[in-house]
Structure 1
Amino acid sequence: MITPEFCRTMARYNAWQNGALIAAADGLSEAELVKYRGSFFGSILQTFSHLLWGDTLWMSRFDGWDTPKGGITESVRFVEDWGRLADLRADADAMIRDWADGLDEAALGGSLSWYSGALKADVTRPLALCVAHFFNHQTHHRGQIHAMLTAAGARPGDTDLFVMPEGI
């Protein structure tokens, strides 16, 4: 399904894109960051917060990170301070890259079991499917953030994977 190299590429892409979106959002006022914009999670800040919460939740399953408190509904308040969120995002992206760098085919060939708060049930799925979902979830919500930033007058950069700079 996926390879360790795909995971390393996606971890690099994740860090690059999060950095670009954070930089674009840094030019906005706090009022613009928290303004309700009709997206699923409401505002730019709340969507960034949910994304970091989701990444932290999945990494708690993949790599033993601390499990974030609350569920999906509370994820919009996981981090409510913009400066702190930007710092935590950069730290998380570095740790995701380190985790991806350590993956091998055998690890991706296993399965993952956890209790899903969203489904209210124990779940077991192929780890490779869960990792693919993890990267897809990031891209999905970054697309929402990109649209909200653009509507707010910010100018996020390129998002195409094939134009990702070398060395990211």
Structure 2
Amino acid sequence: MTSPFVQYIASQACNNAWANHRLYHACLQLTRADLQATRTSFFPTIQLTLNHILTCDWFYLDALERELTGQAPHDNCYVFFEQDEPFDDCASLHAAQAAADKRLIAHCRQLTDADLARPVTILRDTPQIDTRSRLLAHLFQHQNHHRGQVHAMLAGTPVAPPQLDEFFCTGEANLRAPDFAELGWTEEEIWQMR
């Protein structure tokens, strides 16, 4: 039986993918000019912010997956940041983000309480060692932080920012049903995974 904490971590990974799905649904409607226009935010464009979310996902997923499978930490973890913008169009970014989101869900669904407590090492200039639960919490927060910036930047475009806070409440299942259908998910799959 899955513990409530493991279930929560897995639901966070699904929420992450769902929010990205909704955000990209809006961003895919932008022109290239709107995607690349300079705006007020931490990263100056929607495209650069989306690329940053993705490259950070690659960075953390690599460390998490390596530890879980018994591999040594990546000896050049910064390889994921060699390009600030590995993708210069929204369709390619969306496909790569969706693939990363699927990896994160698969990773979280296989975890146990013991896995969440294990240390994960990232060989930064000063090695970073955190438990898997802390790294996952950081990754989810990082995504929320930068998705919020894209959401705010969308307000300055012709495309309305999507609602991103209807994932967890039972009474709002109907609001996410179309997205779940597009993602091939069911409520039962998310909330009772094992």
**27, 51, 54: which one pairs with 1:52?**
54
* Separation (CA, whole Å) in 2 of partners of 1:15 and 1:156: 17
**9, 23, 44: which one pairs with 1:7?**
9
Query: Within the alignment, does 1:101 sit opposite 2:101 as a pair?
Result: no
Following TM superposition, by how much is the alpha carbon of 1:80 offset from its aligned partner in structure 2, in angstroms? 2.1
* Separation (CA, whole Å) in 2 of partners of 1:18 and 1:75: 21
Task: Tell me the equivalent position of 1:114.
Answer: 122
* Separation (CA, whole Å) in 2 of partners of 1:112 and 1:95: 17
* Separation (CA, whole Å) in 1 of partners of 2:17 and 2:83: 20
Conserved 8 A contact 1:47-1:145: yes
Structure 2 residue identity aligned to 1:4: V
Following TM superposition, by how much is the alpha carbon of 1:68 offset from its aligned partner in structure 2, in angstroms? 6.5
Task: Tell me the equivalent position of 2:30.
Answer: 28
CA-to-partner distance for each residue in 1:44-95, whole Å, 9 max, x for gaps?
A: 011000000000100000013x856254xx5531322322111111111112
Following TM superposition, by how much is the alpha carbon of 1:153 offset from its aligned partner in structure 2, in angstroms? 2.8
TM-score, structure 1 as length reference: 0.86
**Structure 2: runs of 5+ lacking an equivalent:** 67-73, 177-186
Q: Which runs of 4+ in 1 moved over 4 A?
A: none
Moved more, 12-21 or 89-98: 89-98
Task: Tell me the equivalent position of 2:91.
Answer: 83
Task: Tell me the equivalent position of 1:146.
Answer: 151
Aligned residues: 162
TM-score, structure 2 as length reference: 0.75
Structural RMSD (CA): 2.2
Identity of aligned residues (%): 29
* Separation (CA, whole Å) in 2 of partners of 1:75 and 1:148: 22
Task: Tell me the equivalent position of 2:71.
Answer: none
Secondary structure at the residue paired with 1:125? strand
Moved more, 151-160 or 139-148: 151-160
Conserved 8 A contact 1:47-1:76: no
Map 1:119-138 onto structure 2 (within 5 A): 120-138=125-143
Structure 2 residue identity aligned to 1:101: R
Task: Tell me the equivalent position of 2:79.
Answer: 69
Residues 9 and 70 of structure 1, relative CA distance in 2, 3 Å threshold:
closer
Task: Tell me the equivalent position of 2:180.
Answer: none
